[in-house]
Amino acid sequence: MPLPYMRSTLTAVLGLSVLLATGLAASQSATASNAMAPPVLAGDGQNGSNQTLGQALLAAADKGDVVAVRDLLARGAPVNAQDAQGSTPLLRATAGNHIEVARSLLLHGADTNLKNQQQDSAYLLAGAQGRLEIVRMALSYGADLKSLNRYGGTALIPACERGHVETAQALIAAGVNVDHVNRLGWTCLMEAVVLADGGPAHQAIIRSLIAAGADLNLPDKEGVTALAHARQRGQREVVQLLQAAGAK
């Protein structure tokens, strides 16, 4: 075989060997890199799924669709999902007085004390709106009796102000402080007089507060008592109730 031809063949073989070695090294390097790389997790997808289920649960609770709510909970929807304002499914259900929806949410661990940006929780809103059944459920599921709304008041204060007799009585029986003073300087008794008309509902609430041992002589920020306010407003029946109970 001529010498030049042998040299050419040898060069080609050597070149092929180099290419093969380079390819093998690259393959080994890629395998090593893959072995060292962190595993791809399904967390992001799961979080996206939870967010979608949470939004669906918020919408179903808002509409009072108990069938949809139960289905979504069974599928793992986050029971304490919050919307852009911080409201939970339970808070939305409370606003609409959707009792069975609220029950299902509480059974699945909904937090009755979780507040939105307006400092409303399901428990506080239920008290303010007179949602008696939801108040009772909230009390059974760990409602914080010392929880305060954006005015610095307990759930009892707006219940008294708005004349929600049974709700106020339920909160009193549960042990909410009847002498708590909010940022306006008013107790539940003061609001039941100052922001009310002295009618039968507020008279019933005042009787309950008297029976619970409320301090009838706690004045407002100006030093005016509930009895003095009742006189100024011509609430004769309330004046009689307070005087008979020892108010001054």
Q: Is residue 187 domain-shared with residue 176, that is, in the same domain?
A: yes
Q: What is the mean pLDDT of the chain?
A: 87
The answer to whether the CB of 189 falls within 8 A of the CB of 149 is no
The answer to whether the CB of 147 falls within 8 A of the CB of 121 is yes
Residue 64 lies in a domain: yes
pLDDT greater than 80 at residue 2: no
Q: How many CB atoms lie within 10 A of CB 81?
A: 20
Residue 201 lies in a domain: yes
pLDDT greater than 90 at residue 131: yes
Please report, for the domain that includes residue 77, its CATH number.
1.25.40.20
Residue located via tokens 């996206």: 48
Q: Read off the DSSP letter of residue 245.
A: T
Least confident of 10-14, 84-88, 230-234: 10-14
Q: Is residue 137 domain-shared with residue 186, that is, in the same domain?
A: no
Q: What is the mean pLDDT of residues 125-134?
A: 98
Q: Position 207: which residue type?
A: R
Residue 32 lies in a domain: no
User: End of a domain among 121, 144, 167?
Assistant: 144
Q: Is residue 92 domain-shared with residue 66, that is, in the same domain?
A: yes
Distance CA 129, CA 134 (A): 10
Q: What is the mean pLDDT of residues 128-142?
A: 98
Report the percent of the chain where pLDDT is more than 90: 80
In the prediction, which pLDDT does 46 show? 60
Q: Is residue 137 domain-shared with residue 57, that is, in the same domain?
A: yes
Residue 39 lies in a domain: no
pLDDT greater than 90 at residue 44: no
- Give CA angle at 116 (114, 122), nearest 5°: 50
What digits encode the pLDDT tens for the residues 152-204?
Answer: 999 999 999 999 999 999 999 999 999 999 999 999 999 999 999 999 999 99
Residue 111 lies in a domain: yes
Q: Is residue 152 domain-shared with residue 136, that is, in the same domain?
A: no
pLDDT greater than 90 at residue 32: no
pLDDT greater than 70 at residue 13: no
Distance CA 192, CA 175 (A): 18
Those residues with Cβ within 8 angstroms of residue 241's Cβ, 6 or more apart along the chain or in another chain: 203, 206, 207, 210
What digits encode the pLDDT tens for the residues 205-248?
Answer: 999 999 999 999 999 999 999 999 999 999 999 999 999 999 99
Q: How many CB atoms lie within 10 A of CB 132?
A: 20
Q: Is residue 231 domain-shared with residue 136, that is, in the same domain?
A: no
Domain span holding position 179:
147-248
**Considering Cα of 104, then 108, then 112, then 117, what sign does the dihedral take?**
negative
What digits encode the pLDDT tens for the residues 62-79?
Answer: 999 999 999 999 999 999
In the prediction, which pLDDT does 48 show? 75
Residue 17 lies in a domain: no
User: End of a domain among 85, 117, 144?
Assistant: 144
Question: What is the number of domains present in the chain?
Answer: 2
Q: How confident is the model at residue 47 (pLDDT cuts 50, 70, 90)?
A: confident
Q: What is the mean pLDDT of residues 117-130?
A: 98
Residue 235 lies in a domain: yes
Q: How confident is the model at residue 107 (pLDDT cuts 50, 70, 90)?
A: very high
Query: pTM (2 decimals)?
Result: 0.81
CA atoms within 13 A on the CB side of 233: 21
Q: Is residue 206 domain-shared with residue 225, that is, in the same domain?
A: yes
Distance CA 34, CA 24 (A): 15
Q: Is residue 218 domain-shared with residue 132, that is, in the same domain?
A: no
Residue 9 lies in a domain: no
